[in-house]
């Protein structure tokens, strides 16, 4: 018979093995997913007018997070309200039939900020994220609220892949690897992100890095890296790569892709220089008072659309991931209320649907039937583990301003 001490030792070892195994799995692949180290980035970014004192800056003062004395409230929200952003039911998906030849002006929205643009006979893929979890870890981090509407292997050949910034819900390692194998188009990215791509074995001849106001031409399309009001970072060192919006201008049509941004008066200047835009894709979700300066709310997106001289607005950055504390359907409901009486054309396709921008369809409300999650705690809340909430908010509360 084993002694009491031996049994206790065995039980202790077993208890310790469980969290150790979980932590090993959670950390699997982290060094690669985190991207390039800032030492590797420094030679690439130091020449930018936006880079000083070791990091990139917005052109106007922009606090990325709330003051330290309000972070306890954020901590409480992570614990108590992370379920609020869940849908009330399954999100309907469309299955678009993409033409063999790109159209004059069309867009297929895949959810969140991922979309396929057809502009003057060429295709541009923006912020493609097909991964299940927007996190460096396979175990925790926000999970998809709906499946990708199309297999990435089924995408037609594209002429360029545009990235707005390096956050996980906009720059996804599994998706980059898939595009590396299935496409030949260049990745056109803001300064510094090319180093992430090089670490992931994307060849140099498929990487184009631009500073704000710089342009790269692909076929007949000018892809201009334009100002945004946001931040960057895939780990503890923040703002080591540039963030951006994009103006896609062809011989006949113009598209603005907002990526992820707070409202900025720079939109009016972008509209004056590169607009008016036939189509704008602007973020409307993941807003919160604590990070108001870096995430637009729906009313600000409507204002930005006007500043840009936009004709048709497709709202992005909602529906696919639970990244804030507002209810799931609230962003699109607020946007449509803000658009009333303005004569704006809003298109809100189901994920996977293709829109002919030159002949936009009548607005069809599909989100009300989905609704938002009922009040009360949920098992996952799209986060994957409450450990993430506790960890992130403790890090936030310990960060210096």
- Number of neighbours of residue 332 by Cβ within 10 angstroms: 21
Q: What pLDDT does 83 receive?
A: 79
Question: Per residue in 172-231, pLDDT tens?
Answer: 999 999 999 999 999 999 999 999 999 999 999 999 999 999 999 999 999 999 999 999
Question: Per residue in 248-307, pLDDT tens?
Answer: 999 999 999 999 999 999 999 999 999 999 999 999 999 998 899 999 999 999 999 999
Domain 105-370 falls under CATH 3.60.15.10: yes
Per-residue pLDDT at 10 exceeds 80: no
Least confident of 20-24, 144-148, 211-215, 239-243: 20-24
Q: Which residues contact 121 (CB under 8 A, 6 or more apart)?
A: 101, 102, 103, 104, 220
Q: Which residues contact 399 (CB under 8 A, 6 or more apart)?
A: 65
What is the model's pTM?
Answer: 0.88
Residue 4 φ/ψ, nearest 5 degrees: -60, -40
Question: Per residue in 56-97, pLDDT tens?
Answer: 999 999 986 655 444 455 455 555 566 789 999 999 999 999
CA distance linking residue 174 with residue 161, whole number of Å:
15
Q: Using an 8 Å Cβ cutoff, are 371 and 310 in contact?
A: no
Does residue 387 or residue 211 have the better pLDDT? 211
CA distance linking residue 383 with residue 401, whole number of Å:
26
Length of the chain (residues): 401
Q: How far apart are the first and last CA of the chain?
A: 59
For every residue of 27-51, DSSP letters joined together read TTTHHHHT---HHHHHHHHTT-TTE
CA distance linking residue 112 with residue 316, whole number of Å:
6
Q: Residue 22 burial (CB < 10 Å; 0-12/13-18/19+)? A: middle
- The ranges assigned to domains in the chain are 1-29, 105-370
3-class DSSP assignment, residue 111: strand
CA distance linking residue 401 with residue 399, whole number of Å:
6
Q: Which residues contact 45 (CB under 8 A, 6 or more apart)?
A: 51, 56, 191, 192, 240, 241, 242
Instruction: Characterize the bridge pairing of strands 354-356 and 345-346.
Output: unpaired
């Amino acid at each position: 018979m084993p002694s009491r001490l031996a049994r206790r030792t065995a039980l202790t070892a077993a208890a310790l093995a469980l969290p150790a195994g979980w932590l090993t799995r959670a950390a699997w692949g982290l060094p690669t997913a985190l991207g390039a180290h800032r030492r590797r980035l420094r030679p690439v970014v130091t020449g930018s007018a936006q880079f000083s004192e070791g990091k990139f800056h917005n052109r106007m003062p922009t606090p990325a997070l709330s003051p330290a004395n309000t972070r306890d409230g954020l901590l409480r929200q992570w614990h108590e309200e992370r379920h609020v952003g869940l849908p009330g039911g399954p999100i309907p998906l469309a299955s678009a039939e993409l033409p063999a030849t790109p159209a004059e002006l069309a867009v297929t929205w895949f959810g969140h900020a991922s979309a396929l643009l057809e502009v003057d006979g060429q295709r541009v893929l923006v912020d493609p994220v097909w991964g299940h979890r927007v996190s460096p870890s396979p175990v925790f981090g926000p999970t998809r609220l709906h499946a990708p509407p199309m297999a990435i292997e089924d995408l037609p050949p594209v002429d360029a892949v545009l990235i707005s910034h390096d956050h996980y819900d906009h720059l996804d390692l599994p998706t980059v690897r898939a595009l590396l194998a299935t496409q030949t188009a260049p990745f056109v990215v803001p300064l510094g992100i090319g180093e992430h791509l090089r670490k992931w074995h994307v060849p140099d001849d498929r990487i184009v890095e631009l500073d704000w106001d710089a342009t790269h031409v692909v076929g007949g399309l000018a892809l201009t890296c334009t100002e945004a009001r946001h931040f960057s970072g895939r780990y503890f060192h923040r703002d080591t790569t540039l963030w951006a919006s994009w103006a896609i201008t062809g011989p006949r049509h113009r598209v603005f892709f907002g990526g992820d941004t707070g409202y900025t008066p720079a939109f009016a200047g972008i509209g004056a220089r590169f607009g008016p835009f036939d189509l704008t894709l602007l973020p409307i979700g993941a807003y919160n008072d604590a990070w108001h300066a870096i995430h637009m709310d729906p009313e600000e997106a409507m204002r930005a659309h006007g500043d840009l001289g936009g004709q048709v607005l497709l709202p992005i950055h909602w529906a696919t991931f639970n990244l804030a504390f507002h209810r799931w359907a609230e962003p699109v409901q607020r946007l449509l209320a803000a658009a009333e009486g303005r004569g704006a054309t809003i298109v809100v396709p189901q994920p996977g649907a293709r829109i002919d921008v030159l002949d936009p369809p009548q607005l069809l409300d599909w989100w009300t039937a989905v609704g938002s999650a009922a009040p009360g705690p949920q098992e996952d809340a799209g986060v994957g583990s409450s450990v993430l909430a506790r960890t992130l908010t403790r890090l936030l509360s310990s960060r210096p301003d």
